[in-house]
Amino acid sequence: MVTTHTPEARTPAARASAGDEHALAVQALEAEFGELIARFRRLITEAAHRVSPGMLPGAYKVFTTIVRREHTTMSALAEMLIMDKGQLSRTVRELEQLGLVTRVPDPKDGRSSILSPTAEGLARLEAARVPQEDGLGHALAGWDVDDIRELTRLLHALLSEEPPAR
């Protein structure tokens, strides 16, 4: 939007109109994010089923978080995912039974365990992610690389809750 420095732009009606335009733009963005979230939920559900048929998206999130961290404790995982420790414990047990993660005693604290992905878990996750990685690449195939970088920059600014640098 171009900022106008005419006296008309400073009138209450002009400011209200700009405010309405801003509100409408935010509403349109919210609608697009809603569609994006629905698509990501579907992709996560599909990836979870590729890792293990019937796996729930929540278990997939726990698993992928363990993979990203490489080695983590239940307490750190519960805090990171803002998850009930009882539910987390059941989910980790399920992941262990599927052969996706291992749990070994924490040498620093005998009451705690260290969770790590197994080699099989990593291989299954890698295979499960291929279709979605191809999907994003396909969706962005016709995009100019500068547009992709600009979208990345703007999303980062949004997530940082700071206005984008110009």
79 shares its domain with 39: no
38 shares its domain with 95: no
Q: Report the pLDDT averaged over residues 22-43.
A: 90
18 shares its domain with 59: no
Residue 73 identity: T
The contacts of residue 97 (CB under 8 Å, 6+ apart) are none
The total domain count for the chain is 3
Task: Check residue 15 and give its pLDDT.
Answer: 56
62 shares its domain with 103: yes
Confidence of residue 162 (pLDDT cuts 50, 70, 90): confident
In terms of Cα–Cα distance, which of 12, 39, 32 is closest to 136?
39
Residue 160, both tokens: 């940082």
What CATH number does the domain containing 85 carry?
A: 1.10.10.10
Task: Check residue 13 and give its pLDDT.
Answer: 58
Of 51, 68, 93, the one marking the end of a domain is 51
Task: Check residue 142 and give its pLDDT.
Answer: 92
Q: How confident is the model over 89-123, as pLDDT tens digits? A: 999 999 999 999 999 988 887 788 899 999 999 99
Answer whether residue 145 shows pLDDT above 90: yes
Q: Residue 14 belongs to what domain range?
A: 1-51
Q: Global pTM?
A: 0.69
110 shares its domain with 61: yes
124 shares its domain with 164: yes
In terms of Cα–Cα distance, which of 119, 118, 135, 128 is closest to 53?
128
Confidence of residue 16 (pLDDT cuts 50, 70, 90): low
